[in-house]
Structure 1
Amino acid sequence: MTQFEKHQYWTAIVNQQQNSGISIPQFCKQNDINYANFHYWMKKIEQTDNEQIAHQVVINESSILNDEIVIIHLPNGIRAELPASLTLIQIQT
Protein backbone atom coordinates (compact mmCIF):
# COMPACT_ATOMS: atom_id res chain seq x y z
CA MET A 1 0.00 0.00 0.00
CA THR A 2 1.41 3.39 -1.00
CA GLN A 3 1.63 6.29 1.45
CA PHE A 4 -1.24 7.99 -0.37
CA GLU A 5 -3.40 4.85 -0.07
CA LYS A 6 -2.56 4.59 3.64
CA HIS A 7 -3.54 8.22 4.12
CA GLN A 8 -6.87 7.61 2.36
CA TYR A 9 -7.49 4.43 4.36
CA TRP A 10 -6.79 6.06 7.72
CA THR A 11 -8.77 9.17 6.80
CA ALA A 12 -11.78 6.90 6.28
CA ILE A 13 -11.14 5.14 9.62
CA VAL A 14 -10.81 8.45 11.51
CA ASN A 15 -14.00 9.74 9.86
CA GLN A 16 -15.82 6.53 10.84
CA GLN A 17 -14.80 7.02 14.46
CA GLN A 18 -15.86 10.67 14.47
CA ASN A 19 -19.24 9.75 12.97
CA SER A 20 -19.72 6.80 15.31
CA GLY A 21 -20.40 8.88 18.40
CA ILE A 22 -18.27 6.59 20.56
CA SER A 23 -14.93 7.29 22.19
CA ILE A 24 -11.67 6.52 20.43
CA PRO A 25 -10.71 3.70 22.85
CA GLN A 26 -14.14 2.09 22.40
CA PHE A 27 -14.00 2.46 18.61
CA CYS A 28 -10.51 0.95 18.46
CA LYS A 29 -11.52 -1.96 20.67
CA GLN A 30 -14.70 -2.68 18.70
CA ASN A 31 -12.87 -2.54 15.37
CA ASP A 32 -9.67 -4.29 16.50
CA ILE A 33 -7.55 -1.22 15.70
CA ASN A 34 -4.30 -0.49 17.50
CA TYR A 35 -4.93 2.60 19.66
CA ALA A 36 -1.42 4.04 19.12
CA ASN A 37 -1.69 3.62 15.33
CA PHE A 38 -5.07 5.33 15.37
CA HIS A 39 -3.68 8.34 17.26
CA TYR A 40 -0.61 8.50 15.01
CA TRP A 41 -2.77 8.67 11.90
CA MET A 42 -5.32 11.00 13.43
CA LYS A 43 -2.57 13.54 14.17
CA LYS A 44 -0.93 13.00 10.78
CA ILE A 45 -4.23 13.60 8.97
CA GLU A 46 -4.96 16.68 11.07
CA GLN A 47 -1.50 18.05 10.30
CA THR A 48 -1.91 17.40 6.57
CA ASP A 49 -5.34 19.06 6.56
CA ASN A 50 -3.95 22.14 8.31
CA GLU A 51 -1.16 22.43 5.75
CA GLN A 52 -3.67 22.49 2.91
CA ILE A 53 -5.74 25.37 4.21
CA ALA A 54 -5.70 28.24 1.71
CA HIS A 55 -5.53 31.76 3.01
CA GLN A 56 -7.03 34.65 1.14
CA VAL A 57 -4.59 37.25 -0.10
CA VAL A 58 -5.91 40.79 -0.48
CA ILE A 59 -4.21 42.77 -3.21
CA ASN A 60 -4.77 46.46 -3.83
CA GLU A 61 -3.83 48.50 -6.88
CA SER A 62 -1.08 50.08 -4.75
CA SER A 63 0.66 46.67 -4.67
CA ILE A 64 1.75 47.26 -8.27
CA LEU A 65 5.15 48.93 -8.00
CA ASN A 66 5.89 49.54 -11.66
CA ASP A 67 4.83 48.48 -15.14
CA GLU A 68 6.84 45.27 -15.06
CA ILE A 69 6.20 43.27 -11.87
CA VAL A 70 3.92 42.94 -8.87
CA ILE A 71 5.65 42.00 -5.62
CA ILE A 72 3.57 40.31 -2.94
CA HIS A 73 4.95 39.78 0.57
CA LEU A 74 3.07 37.09 2.48
CA PRO A 75 2.92 36.91 6.28
CA ASN A 76 4.89 33.65 6.30
CA GLY A 77 7.87 35.36 4.66
CA ILE A 78 7.24 34.24 1.09
CA ARG A 79 7.74 36.88 -1.56
CA ALA A 80 6.06 36.44 -4.93
CA GLU A 81 7.01 38.44 -8.02
CA LEU A 82 4.41 38.28 -10.78
CA PRO A 83 4.07 39.92 -14.19
CA ALA A 84 2.16 43.19 -13.88
CA SER A 85 0.25 42.26 -17.01
CA LEU A 86 -1.88 39.89 -14.91
CA THR A 87 -5.27 41.14 -13.84
CA LEU A 88 -6.00 41.51 -10.13
CA ILE A 89 -8.32 38.50 -10.36
CA GLN A 90 -5.52 36.38 -11.85
CA ILE A 91 -3.13 37.49 -9.12
CA GLN A 92 -5.64 36.78 -6.34
CA THR A 93 -6.31 33.35 -7.79
Structure 2
Amino acid sequence: MDHQSKREHWSAILEQQRQSNLGIKQFCTEQNISYQTFHYWSKKLSQAEPETRVQPIVVSEPTVSPSCVVLTFSNSIRAELPTTLSPQQIKFWVEACNDAIR
Protein backbone atom coordinates (compact mmCIF):
# COMPACT_ATOMS: atom_id res chain seq x y z
CA MET A 1 0.00 0.00 0.00
CA ASP A 2 1.50 3.34 -0.99
CA HIS A 3 1.72 6.35 1.32
CA GLN A 4 -1.40 8.08 -0.02
CA SER A 5 -3.45 4.88 0.19
CA LYS A 6 -2.41 4.40 3.83
CA ARG A 7 -3.42 7.97 4.65
CA GLU A 8 -6.83 7.46 3.03
CA HIS A 9 -7.29 4.08 4.77
CA TRP A 10 -6.54 5.50 8.21
CA SER A 11 -8.59 8.64 7.61
CA ALA A 12 -11.57 6.37 6.97
CA ILE A 13 -10.88 4.38 10.15
CA LEU A 14 -10.58 7.55 12.25
CA GLU A 15 -13.87 8.78 10.79
CA GLN A 16 -15.54 5.43 11.58
CA GLN A 17 -14.41 5.77 15.19
CA ARG A 18 -15.80 9.31 15.43
CA GLN A 19 -19.15 8.21 14.04
CA SER A 20 -19.32 5.06 16.21
CA ASN A 21 -19.81 7.01 19.46
CA LEU A 22 -17.41 4.51 21.06
CA GLY A 23 -14.33 5.39 23.03
CA ILE A 24 -11.06 4.85 21.20
CA LYS A 25 -10.05 1.82 23.29
CA GLN A 26 -13.42 0.12 22.84
CA PHE A 27 -13.47 0.90 19.10
CA CYS A 28 -9.96 -0.49 18.65
CA THR A 29 -10.83 -3.64 20.61
CA GLU A 30 -14.01 -4.25 18.60
CA GLN A 31 -12.27 -3.57 15.28
CA ASN A 32 -9.16 -5.57 16.24
CA ILE A 33 -6.98 -2.50 15.71
CA SER A 34 -3.85 -1.75 17.70
CA TYR A 35 -4.52 1.11 20.10
CA GLN A 36 -0.97 2.43 19.59
CA THR A 37 -1.30 2.30 15.80
CA PHE A 38 -4.62 4.14 15.98
CA HIS A 39 -2.99 6.95 17.99
CA TYR A 40 0.04 7.03 15.68
CA TRP A 41 -2.20 7.62 12.65
CA SER A 42 -4.42 10.03 14.53
CA LYS A 43 -1.39 12.18 15.31
CA LYS A 44 0.16 11.75 11.86
CA LEU A 45 -3.02 12.78 10.05
CA SER A 46 -3.52 15.81 12.26
CA GLN A 47 -0.17 17.19 11.06
CA ALA A 48 0.20 18.84 7.68
CA GLU A 49 2.11 16.85 5.10
CA PRO A 50 5.50 18.32 4.31
CA GLU A 51 5.46 20.42 1.17
CA THR A 52 7.17 18.86 -1.80
CA ARG A 53 9.25 21.40 -3.65
CA VAL A 54 10.05 20.88 -7.29
CA GLN A 55 13.31 22.34 -8.49
CA PRO A 56 13.94 22.72 -12.21
CA ILE A 57 17.05 20.97 -13.45
CA VAL A 58 18.65 21.82 -16.78
CA VAL A 59 20.40 18.86 -18.39
CA SER A 60 22.84 19.80 -21.10
CA GLU A 61 25.13 17.79 -23.26
CA PRO A 62 28.76 18.46 -22.44
CA THR A 63 30.82 20.42 -24.91
CA VAL A 64 34.11 19.13 -23.54
CA SER A 65 33.67 15.44 -22.93
CA PRO A 66 30.96 13.05 -24.11
CA SER A 67 31.62 10.93 -21.02
CA CYS A 68 29.68 13.18 -18.64
CA VAL A 69 26.30 14.82 -18.18
CA VAL A 70 26.06 18.35 -16.81
CA LEU A 71 23.19 19.26 -14.47
CA THR A 72 22.59 22.93 -13.69
CA PHE A 73 20.25 23.64 -10.79
CA SER A 74 18.14 26.75 -10.21
CA ASN A 75 20.66 28.25 -7.78
CA SER A 76 23.46 27.83 -10.36
CA ILE A 77 24.94 24.74 -8.73
CA ARG A 78 26.47 22.78 -11.55
CA ALA A 79 27.13 19.04 -11.35
CA GLU A 80 29.12 17.14 -13.95
CA LEU A 81 28.33 13.45 -13.60
CA PRO A 82 30.04 10.63 -15.47
CA THR A 83 27.73 8.77 -17.81
CA THR A 84 28.90 5.52 -16.19
CA LEU A 85 26.94 6.20 -12.98
CA SER A 86 24.09 3.89 -12.11
CA PRO A 87 20.55 5.31 -11.80
CA GLN A 88 20.86 4.99 -7.99
CA GLN A 89 24.08 7.02 -7.98
CA ILE A 90 22.56 9.70 -10.21
CA LYS A 91 19.55 9.91 -7.88
CA PHE A 92 21.90 10.30 -4.90
CA TRP A 93 23.74 13.22 -6.52
CA VAL A 94 20.56 14.95 -7.71
CA GLU A 95 19.11 14.71 -4.18
CA ALA A 96 22.37 16.00 -2.68
CA CYS A 97 22.33 19.01 -5.01
CA ASN A 98 18.64 19.65 -4.23
CA ASP A 99 19.43 19.51 -0.49
CA ALA A 100 22.13 22.13 -1.05
CA ILE A 101 19.51 24.40 -2.65
CA ARG A 102 17.22 24.29 0.40
TM-score by length of 1: 0.51
- CA positional deviation for 1:29: 0.1
Cα separation, 2, equivalents of 1:48 and 1:27: 25
- Larger RCO: 1 or 2 (CA < 8 Å, sep 6+): 1
Question: Structure 1: any 5+ residue segments left out of the alignment?
Answer: 52-93
Pairwise CA RMSD: 1.5
Aligned-partner SS, 1:33: coil
Runs (4+) of structure 1 exceeding 6 A deviation are none
Greater C-alpha radius of gyration: 2
Counting only pairs closer than 5 Å after superposition, residues 57-68 of structure 1 correspond to structure 2 as none
> Offset at 1:48?
2.6
Partner of 2:28 in structure 1?
A: 28
- Determine the structure 2 residue equivalent to 1:72: none
Count of aligned pairs: 50
The TM-score, its normalising length taken from structure 2, stands at 0.47
Residue 34 (structure 1) shift: 0.4
* Long gaps (5+) in structure 2: 51-102
